[in-house]
Amino acid sequence: MHTYLRLAPFMASIHRLILPIGAAILLGAAAPVTSPPRFDHWIDGTTASEPETQVQKIDEDTFVIRQSVKTNFEAPFLYLLFGKDRALLLDSGAGGLKIRTPVDRLIAEWQARHGGRAVHLVVAHTHGHGDHHAGDDEFRARPDTDVVGLGPDQVAAFFHIADWPRGTGRFDLGGRVLDIIPTPGHEPAHIMVYDARTRLLFSGDMLYPGRLYVPTDQFDVYRASADRLAQFARTHPVRALLGAHIEMTNMPGHDYPMAAGTHPSEHRLPLSPAAINEFRKAVANAASPPVIDRHADFIVYPRPPKPAS
C-alpha cells in the first residue's frame, strides 16, 4: 500500500506523457519523414507500349509526372502540389504530347476526394528553357489558372521576391507554404522550390542526377547560387532533392549519351541532401576556365556561352 502511494505521482507523470503519444497515433499523426520518397520503376523508353506520361504519388497532395522519352528525349519530371486553395504545377513539359490531360485528371481526382473543393491552378517553371514550358499554351485559356512568365522580373514579381536573386519568396497554397529560392546560372530565371511539409527540394536543372549545364560566362552567378542553396539548406531540413531529369545511369559517374532514346538502368530520381555540399564544393573549386567535372551522382558541365541574338 505504501509502495503504491510512493509510485502514484510517478505513474501519473508517465500517464501524462503517454496519453498525447497515444492520441497522436489514434489521430493518424506521424513523425516527420526523413527517408527519400520511394518510387516504382519509371517509364524509360525501353518498352514499346510505354504511355506518354507516368504519374507517381508522394502523398495525397503531392504528385510526380514523368514525360516519356519517346515523346521527347529530355523526358522531364513535372511536379503537382496541392494546398487547400491552390495547386502548383512546376513546369509544363517538353512538348510532343497533351500534358494538360493528366494534370486535369489529377486535379479532378483531388477535388473529388475533397468534396468538390475549388482549387486555383498556378503553372510555374523551374526556369525558362523550352523543355520546361512547352505545354504552357494548353493552360492559358484554362479557367481559374495563372501561367507565370519566364523572365526573372516576371518570376520575382509573381512570387514577391523583392531582392532578386538574393531574396526568397513565400507562396501559400492554402495551409502549405512554399519557399521560392532564386538560383540563376543555368538560366537567368531559374528557381528551386522548397516544401517544408514534405521536406522536399524541387531543384529543376540546377542539381539532379545528370549533366548540370552552365554557360561559362555565367559561372560566377552559378557559384553564388550554389552558395545560396547551401546556406538555405543549413537552416531548412531537406529530406531529398527532386530534379527535372535523369541523365545518369546507375553506374556511378556514368551518363547516357546526349539525346538518348532509351534510359535502361537509370539512376534513381531523388538525390541525397549531401549532394548540396558536394555540388557547392565542386563549383567553388572549379578551374578557371571551368572544365567538365564528374561525380558519382551528377556532372558539372560547363558549356560555351550562347551567341548574342
Averaged pLDDT, 66-78: 98
In this predicted model, what pLDDT tens digit does every residue of 81-131 receive, in sequence order? 999 999 999 999 999 999 999 999 999 999 999 999 999 999 999 999 999
Question: Cβ contacts of residue 79 below 8 Å, gap of 6+?
Answer: 62, 63, 64, 65, 88, 89, 90, 91, 193, 202, 242
The pLDDT confidence band at residue 307, using thresholds 50, 70 and 90, is confident
Given a cut of 90, whether residue 30 has pLDDT beyond it is no
pLDDT at 289: 96
Whether the CB-CB separation of 77 and 71 falls below 8 Å is answered with no
In this predicted model, what pLDDT tens digit does every residue of 272-290 receive, in sequence order? 999 999 999 999 999 999 9
The CATH class that applies to domain 38-205+237-271 reads alpha beta
Q: What value does the CA radius of gyration of the chain take, rounded to a whole number of Å?
A: 22
pLDDT at 34: 83
pLDDT at 233: 98
d(CA 302, CA 292): 6
Place of cell 520518397: 37
Predicted TM-score (pTM) of this structure: 0.90
Average pLDDT, the chain: 91
Domain map of the chain by residue range?
38-205+237-271
Q: Picking from 24-28, 111-115, 130-134, 233-237, which range would have the lowest pLDDT averaged per residue? A: 24-28
Given a cut of 90, whether residue 31 has pLDDT beyond it is no
Given a cut of 90, whether residue 183 has pLDDT beyond it is yes
